[in-house]
């Protein structure tokens, strides 16, 4: 779904929140395939299967 988004060529900041592996996958796409700087992608994983309390 993220692959089909029409994003600007000059990145701003992406804020990702949700399941840890999904956040990692979206960050990897933005950094590797779209060329966004890693620091421009802020990730806050709230849960991951089989784990509790990621804070």
Over residues 1-52, the pLDDT tens digits come to 788 999 887 778 999 998 888 999 999 999 999 999 999 999 988 877 776 6
Measured between alpha carbons, how far is residue 16 from residues 2, 39 in Å? Answer: 12, 12
Q: What is the pTM of this model?
A: 0.77
Contact yes or no for 13/42 (Cβ under 8 A):
yes
pLDDT on residue 9: 76
Query: Rg of the chain's alpha carbons, rounded to an integer?
Result: 12
Contact yes or no for 48/25 (Cβ under 8 A):
no
Contact yes or no for 48/20 (Cβ under 8 A):
yes
Helix (H) or strand (E) holding 42: strand 41-47
């Amino acid at each position: 779904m993220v692959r089909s988004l029409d994003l600007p060529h000059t990145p701003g900041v992406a804020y990702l929140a949700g399941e840890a592996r999904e956040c990692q996958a979206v960050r990897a796409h933005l950094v590797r395939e779209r060329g966004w700087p890693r620091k421009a992608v802020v990730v806050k994983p709230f849960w991951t299967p089989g784990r509790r309390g990621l804070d």
